Amino acid sequence: MKIALIGCGNMGQAILSAIISKGVSIAEHLSVAEVNQACREMTAEKFGVFTTDNGVDAIRRSDIIILAIKPQNLDEAFKQIGGKFSQGQLVISIIAGKCLGTLKDGLKYDAIVRAMPNTPAQIGYGMTVWTATEAVDGQQMAQSRTILGAMGKEIYVSDEDSIDMATAVSGSGPAYVFLFMESLIQAAERIGLPHDKAYEMVMQLMSGSIRYAHSLDKPLDRLREMVTSPGGTTAAALGVFANGNLAGLVEEAVTAAYKRAKELGG
Ligand SMILES: NC(=O)c1ccc[n+]([C@@H]2O[C@H](COP(=O)([O-])OP(=O)(O)OC[C@H]3O[C@@H](n4cnc5c(N)ncnc54)[C@H](OP(=O)(O)O)[C@@H]3O)[C@@H](O)[C@H]2O)c1
């Protein structure tokens, strides 16, 4: 696949790395348009790909064009690359909050995939949720799945509202997980554990619990019950979470994120 990246910062580097390491494409077929000279030079040296500061040059060499710039740079990019696409090309945007309508108008092109990855995608453990315009054909859908799947797991959804929902769950989700971990470390320190030990315990607790859940493949409430003896320590802690309505608070938080995603997407 001949693929171009417009913008090659944190996510662009991660996508490039995933595409090459998973064998989705080869360096000779990859092009990067990047305005930051230091980043451009580093990318050329690290991956051996064609680099340019001109988006149109990268687009001309490619079948699939991935937009990986910040939302605030999109209007400027529209001026450079809007109307420069030809039939048969596919655009994949990972830009948070920019809906298909905005992308179609600005790019003056209609075969577009909108994807919402999360930060673990940078190390190949991402959750990317994506949708596509009607102009994206079956082959391009399969190619999108392959590219986005190189960064971890991918889920296709048929409507953009589900992208906003996914933004509130898996997109913002890493921050929720880290907040819970921070709180757990802080609580461990308050009851007397040193920070480094508390940190190690919580890190291993999280990764171990997730692996355990995957390996047993049982419902999460069943796994929770398996740790909870009546009148025991876990029951004492879970009672406090229930009294504070942890589930209700999580629901409120996710609903607030969903609402904000819809507002930002216009
Ligand atoms: N980071 C994540 O884990 C994550 C997760 C989900 C979604 N996203 C989305 O991914 C996108 C990229 O995020 P990021 O963290 O990778 O951003 P980033 O590190 O700032 O990378 C973007 C790069 O694009 C360059 N650039 C700006 N305008 C350009 C243009 N017209 N043509 C070519 N290059 C241009 C920027 O240069 P300058 O710095 O000089 O402007 C920068 O080097 C964002 O829209 C974000 O919403 C990121």
Angle separating helix axes 195-216 and 173-190, nearest 10 degrees: 130
Our answer on whether the CB atom of 154 is closer than 6 Å to any ligand 1 atom is no
Q: Which two tokens stand for residue 32?
A: 């990067």
pTM score of the predicted model = 0.93
Residue 9 lies in a domain: yes
Question: Residue 145's pLDDT is what?
Answer: 98
Give the CATH number, domain containing residue 28.
Answer: 3.40.50.720
State how many domains the chain has: 2
Rounded CA-CA distance 30/47 in Å is: 9
Which atom of ligand 1 has the smallest separation from the CA of 53? 33
Q: Residue type at 162? A: S
Ligand 1 atom with the shortest distance to the CA of 73: 28
* β-bridge mates for residue 50, sequence order: 31
**Per-residue pLDDT tens listing for the chain (266 residues):** 999 999 999 999 999 999 999 999 999 999 999 999 999 999 999 999 999 999 999 999 999 999 999 999 999 999 999 999 999 999 999 999 899 999 999 999 999 999 999 999 999 999 999 999 999 999 999 999 999 999 999 999 999 999 999 999 999 999 999 999 999 999 999 999 999 999 999 999 999 999 999 999 899 999 999 999 999 999 999 999 999 999 999 999 999 999 999 998 76
pLDDT at 264: 85
Tell me the residue range of the domain where 43 lies: 3-158
User: Are 78 and 136 in the same domain?
Assistant: yes
The atom number, within ligand 1, closest to the CA of 119 reads 3
Distance 145 CA to ligand 1 centre (A): 21
Ligand 1 close to Cβ of residue 151 (< 6 A)? no
| CA dist., res. 165 & res. 159, Å (int) | 10
Does residue 187 belong to any structural domain of this protein? yes
Q: Cα 203 from chain centroid? A: 21
Q: Minimal CA–CA distance to 166: which of 261, 266, 253, 46?
A: 261
Clarify whether residues 61 and 127 are in a common domain. Answer: yes
Domain boundary among 114, 133, 158: 158
Single-letter residue type at 61: R
Nearest alpha carbon, ligand 1 atom 25 = 7
Do 14 and 140 reside in the same domain of the chain?
yes
Which residue CA neighbors atom 18 of ligand 1 most closely?
A: 9
Ligand 1 pocket check for 129: Cβ under 6 Å = no
The reply to whether 26 and 153 lie within a common domain is yes
Indicate the top mutation candidate among 70, 95, 122, 164 to test ligand 1's pocket, ranked by most ligand atoms within 8 A of CB. Answer: 70
- The 8-class DSSP code of residue 101 comes to H
Decide if 142 contacts 64 (C-beta within 8 A). no
Query: Could you tell me if 153 and 185 lie in one domain?
Result: no
